[in-house]
Structure 1
C-alpha cells in the first residue's frame, strides 16, 4: 500500500497516484491536500477502504496545545529566570517560590550543576523534540510558522524567522531571536541555557550553538550537567559548520568563518576563523579593545 502526502498552498490541489497489477487486483494510492486538510483513499486488492481525515493536523495541534497548557510548568518566575542568584539551599522560601518540581530547571537556567534526568526536564525535551520532528517533515512555511510559535521562546511577529529544515533544539523555550533571523539547513541549537540572537543574524548550514557542558571529573559527569548562555549580536554572520561553545558572546556585525570553533567572547566588527577562532581581520577602522589571543 502506498500513500503519498503532498503539502500545498491554501488554494492548490495536487493528486498523485500509483497503480500496478497484483494478480487480479491492483494497488492504488491517492492523496489530496486542499488548504492543509488531508484526504486520502486507499484501494487494496483484498478489499476497499476509504478514509477522509486530518489526523496529521490534529496530531500537530494536540502537541501545540499540550505545550501551551504546560507553559506555566515549563517557565520560572521572572525573578528566578536567567542570571538570578539565590541561596535556595539554605533559604526554603526560594524553593517554595520556584516550586520543587522546577528546582532542576532553575539550576539549569542559572548555570548551576543540575540533573538532566529530572522528570520535568525530560518532559520538556520530549515536547520540543516532537515539535522539531513535525517541523522537519513539513514543506508549507505557514504551517512551519505555527510550530515555531510553539517551539521557540520569542521571535518577531512582524519579521519572523526563516528556518530551513532540518533544525534541532533541546528545549526551544530558551531561544530568543530578533528580526529577520535566518538559519540554513541542519542547524543545532542546544538551549539548556538562554540563546539570545539579535536582529538580521544569518546562520549557514550545520552551525551548532552549544550551551550545554559537562564536568571534567568522570564520576561527576555521569549524573551532572551545567549550561551557560550564548549571546549573538545584531547583523552577525556565522559560516557553515561553525561551533559556538557555552558562555560565548559575539559582538555586532562580526563574521565567523566556516568551520570555526568559538571558545571565547568575540568583540564587534571583526572576522574570526580557526580552531580555536581568532581575529584575522578588523571590519572598518574600529579598534579592538580585547582581541582574542
Structure 2
C-alpha cells in the first residue's frame, strides 16, 4: 500500500524521501526526533510532543522553520492521507550538510507514519526484566537520535530474556534507554530527577498519581522497592519485576502499578471519544 510522508518541504510518496549522505545526522549521528501514538486517527498528547520537539530543536541548535501550528496541520494531513487509524508517527530533524562535516547547519524535517506493536499482554501481566548498565545518556534532556550504545547492547537482550536496560551512574538511577523509571516504596511513588528525558507519559503518570516524589535514588534502593515500573509512548506503563537476577518486590506487578496502568489506559480511550 502506498504511504506518504512529509520530507523537507512537502508531502510525498514515502519511497521518494531521501537524506543526503553528507548530512551530519548520518556522518555524526546528530539529529533530533520525537515519536507519538495515533489512536482512532487522533495523535495522543500532540501539543506536548510538539512542545518537546520544538524545545529539542532549540537546545540542539537546529533550525526548525515550521511553527507548532504548521506542524499540527502537516501531521493531520498525513493521518488523513495515509488513513492512519492506529500506530505511531515520527518526526526527525537532521543536523544538516555541514561545511566542516561537524558543525550543525540547517537541517531537514521528516514526518512519517509507522506501524506500532505494543508489548505483548503477558508483559503487562507478569512484568519484565531490565539489565543494569553503568551509563548516562549524552545530553539527556534533548531527544536526540543517538541510541548507538543501547542498540549495541540489545544484541544480547534476548539471550538474557530482558526487555531493556536501566542506566545508573555514580550511585544514581536515571532512566531506561527509551523509558522513564518509577519505584514504589510504602505509600510513595518516586521517579528520578537527574540525567533524564522528561517523558510525556511520565508527565501523565505524575498527573494521575498526584503525589509522585521527584528525587534521585540509588540502584540499591530500587532493588529494595516494593514495586517498579517504566513509562513511555511505546509501552504505556510496564511493570518491572526483575533487574538483572534480582526480583523486585514479590516478583509480580504490584497494586499501585496496576492501578496506574488502568487509569492511563482510561485516558487513552477518552481522547479519541472526544473528537
Q: TM-score, normalised by structure 2?
A: 0.25
Q: Choose 1 or 2 for highest CA Rg.
A: 1
Q: Greater RCO between the two (CA within 8 Å, min separation 6)?
A: 2
Larger relative helix fraction = 2
